Amino acid sequence: MGPASPGRTAGRRQNGSDAGTGRCVQDDLSTALDACARAAVLRIKFNKYHRRLVRMANRYPWPPEIGLALQECLNSLEEDYPDLIDPDETLPRHEKELLVQLVDRHLPVVCRAIEERKLPNVYAQEIRSAFRALFDEDKLPELTYRHKRYIPQLIRASLRLGAEKVSSRWKQHLLELFVNYNLNFMGIYNRWKELRDAEFAAAAEKGDEETW
């Protein structure tokens, strides 16, 4: 067997160095946090180290053992210090994948409820398009820890609404749910606005008839 190529040797050194860095980051974080006397300083230091780990995890596809070690390190920090995490920090890749799996598993149930209520197909199409745009890595905004919190809440609320059997305003409630959760997709907002405008127009017409 011939000598290892410089590229392979460098790759092993890089992987080993980054994996070691992950362990050092966690050790350094514990030391730094113990030394903090003020809450503001504590938050700044924590997010500095946490951001460093997130960027490391997202840098490129890691070998499984290194990727798993980085995930475990991040999970440990997030479980131990949930109140310190910057909600606008970019999500690690593995957290994005979990959100995609969650939506892929449950969104068909919501869309099926739309179909069962004989609503126009455009509602299901708009909701699917909204999530496709949200998970498109080439589009802004990037997924952050805010999304990690609110997307599961939105899916749970949608499933509860989908299970409702009696509601004279189910269509309105569905669109209001997505607008209230601030799923920033113009198609959903436009469908909601159309409904509201139609309701206002009907109310105004009824008022004119009663006045007449």
pLDDT one digit per residue (tens) for the chain, 212 residues: 444 433 433 344 444 444 455 555 555 666 655 555 566 777 888 888 899 999 998 887 889 898 899 999 999 988 988 888 999 999 999 999 999 999 999 999 988 888 888 777 888 888 888 888 889 888 777 899 999 988 998 899 888 887 876 666 777 777 778 777 767 667 777 777 777 787 778 777 776 555 44
Compute φ and ψ for 106, nearest 5 degrees: -110, -25
Neighbours of 198 (CB within 10 A): 10
Among 77, 71, 69, smallest CA distance to 19 is for 69
Does 105 lie in the same domain as 80? no
120 in helix, strand or coil?
Answer: coil
Residue 1 in domain: no
Residue 109 and residue 203 share a domain: yes
- Tell me how many domains the chain contains: 2
Give the domain range for residue 12. 6-85
Residue 135's CB is within 10 A of a number of other CB atoms, namely 17
Query: Same domain, yes or no, for 78 and 117?
Result: no
Q: Which of 53, 85, 117 is the last residue of a domain?
A: 85
Tell me the residue type at 91: L
Both 79 and 150 in one domain: the answer is no
Looking at the fold, whether 106 and 177 belong to one and the same domain comes out as yes
Other C-beta atoms closer than 10 Å to the C-beta of 7 total 8
Q: Are residues 69 and 105 in the same domain?
A: no
12 and 102 inside one domain: no
